[in-house]
Amino acid sequence: MPAPGTLLLLRHGQSVLNAQDRFTGLLDPPLTPLGEDEAARAGALLVHSSFSPGTVYTSTLTRTRATARIVLDILDAPDVPVLAAWELNERSYGSLTGRARSELLSELGPEVFRFWRRSYYGAPPPMSRAELGAIRRSRAFAGLPPEAVLPTESLCGVVKRVRIFWHQHLRPRIRAGEDVLVGHGNSLRALCLVLDRLSHAEVEALNIPTGHPLAYRFTPGLVPLERVGEYLNPLAAWTAAALVAAAGGT
C-alpha cells in the first residue's frame, strides 16, 4: 500500500466582499487584486515545497475556482483535474448575508453577534425567500440540489456536509496521492474539526487566513501527524490569523 498523500487546505484569496468586511456567505464576488496576489504567493510556496497535486477540489463559487486556476498556473500544472463540490461551499449566513460586520455588531451587540457568527450551533435568522431564490438561480448554484442553498446554516450544519465529503471523496484519494483543497473559511474550519476531532470550543476559536497553505500529513491509518496541520509559511500565517481573530474571526 502506498504512503498516504498530503492534504493541502487553502482558503481562497481575498474577495471583494472580504475587503469590505461584509458577510459573504453564498454570494459570489470575484477576487480583489490582493486576493489574486495571495493566490499567486500560495502557488509559489507550493512550488518551493515540491507539492504536486493529483486533484484539486474547489467549491462552486468564483473565488475558490479563480484561486485554484492561479495556483495551478504557478505550478505549471494545467492538466490537473479541478473538481467543484457544493459541499465545500461557504456557510449560509442567512439574513446577515451581504451585511457589513461593523454595522451588525453595533445593531446586535457583541453577544448576539458572536453567537450567530462564531458559535457551533448558532444560526442567524433565515434570508428572505426572494434572496434565497436569487442565489439559487445564480450561475454558481445552477443544477445543484436544494440542500446546497439553505436559508441559514450553523457551523454544525457545515461540519455535517464536510464530514460526508471527507469520507466519500477526500479520504479515498489521500490513500493514492496528493490533493489540493481550495475552500472557504468555514468549510475548512469544519474539515479541521473532522480531521482533528476538535472540540466545539477549539473550532470556535480557530481562524484560517486567506491565501496561506495549510498541509495535513497522515499516518498509514490516516491520522494527522500534526494537530491542525502545518502552515507552509508559519510565521506569516499565524500573523494573518491573529489579524483575522482581532477583526472578529473567520
Choose the weakest-confidence range: 34-48, 60-74, 192-206, 231-245. Answer: 231-245
- Report H helices in 138-250: 155-165, 171-174, 185-196, 200-205, 234-246
Residue 175 has a pLDDT of 87
Nearest C-alpha neighbor of 71 from the set 33, 34, 43: 43
- Tell me the pLDDT band of 248, cut-offs 50, 70 and 90: low
How many residues in total does the chain contain? 250
90 noted as active-site residue: yes
Q: How far, in Å, CA of 37 to CA of 14, rounded?
A: 9
Kindly state whether residue 208 falls inside one of the protein's structural domains.
yes
Average pLDDT for the chain: 94
**In the structure grid, which three cell numbers stand for residue 232, read together?**
507552509
Listed residue (67, 65, 79) closest to 38, CA to CA: 67
Residue with cell 485554484: 68
Pairing of strands 230-231, 214-216: antiparallel
Separation of CA 59 from chain center:
8
Q: What is the pLDDT of residue 176?
A: 84
Report, as an integer, the average pLDDT of 188-202: 96
CATH code, domain carrying 79: 3.40.50.1240
User: Residue 133: what pLDDT?
Assistant: 95
Percentage of the residues of the chain whose pLDDT score is greater than 90: 88
Q: Which of 38, 87, 90, 204 is catalytic?
A: 90
Q: How confident is the model at residue 167 (pLDDT cuts 50, 70, 90)?
A: very high
2 located within any domain: no
The domain in which residue 194 lies consists of 7-246
Query: Is the pLDDT at 249 greater than 70, yes or no?
Result: no
pLDDT, tens only, 91-130: 999 999 999 999 999 999 999 999 999 999 999 999 999 9
Please state, in angstroms and rounded to a whole number, the distance separating the CA atoms of residues 51 and 8: 9
* 12 a catalytic residue: yes
CA distances from 94 to 20, 89, 101, 186, 200 (A): 18, 14, 14, 14, 21
Q: What's the domain count of the chain? A: 1
In a domain, 1, yes or no: no
Q: Tell me, what's the pLDDT at 241? A: 86
